[in-house]
Amino acid sequence: MKTILISSLLFSGISIGATIFDESINGELSDDNTMPTALTGLSVGSNVIIGTLLSNPDDDREYFTITVPTGFTWSGLVIDSYVGTPFEDQSFLAYVAGDSIVSPTSASANDLDGNGLFGQAQIGNDIFPALTGANSALPAGDYTFWFQETAPVDIAYELDIQLAAVPEPSSAFLGLLGLVGMMGRRRR
User: How many helices and strands, by DSSP H and E, does the chain display?
Assistant: 4, 9
* 101 scored as a contact of Ca ion (CB under 5 A): no
Nearer to Ca ion, 22 or 168 (CB): 22
Quick check: 97 and 141 in contact, CB under 8 A?
yes
How many chain residues touch Ca ion (CB under 5 A)?
Answer: 8
Binding range to Ca ion, per CB under 5 A, among 30-38, 94-102, 107-115, 124-132: 30-38
Dihedral angle of Cα 48, 54, 58, 63, to the nearest 10 degrees: 20
Q: In angstroms, what is the minimal distance from the CB of 144 to Ca ion?
A: 14
Nearer to Ca ion, 47 or 91 (CB): 91
In degrees rounded to 5, what are phi and psi of residue 133? 70, 5
**Which residue, among 43, 49, 48, has the nearest Cα to 28 in the 3D structure?**
49
Binding range to Ca ion, per CB under 5 A, among 29-37, 97-105, 137-145, 158-166: 29-37
Looking at 15, 19, 26, 28, which residue binds Ca ion (CB under 5 A)?
Answer: 28
Tell which positions 60-99 bind Ca ion, by CB under 5 A. 60, 62, 91
Q: How far is residue 23's CA from residue 15's CA, in Å, rounded to a whole number?
A: 19
Looking at 151, 154, 156, 158, which residue binds Ca ion (CB under 5 A)?
Answer: 151
**Which residue, among 153, 145, 146, has the nearest Cα to 58 in the 3D structure?**
153
* 51 scored as a contact of Ca ion (CB under 5 A): yes
Tell which positions 154-183 bind Ca ion, by CB under 5 A. none
For residue 187, CA distances in Å to 170, 173, 178 come to: 26, 22, 15
Nearer to Ca ion, 7 or 150 (CB): 150
Nearer to Ca ion, 58 or 168 (CB): 58
Q: How far is residue 38's CA from residue 25's CA, in Å, rounded to a whole number?
A: 15
Binding range to Ca ion, per CB under 5 A, among 37-45, 58-66, 70-78, 177-185: 58-66
Residues in contact with Ca ion by CB under 5 A are: 28-29, 31, 51, 60, 62, 91, 151
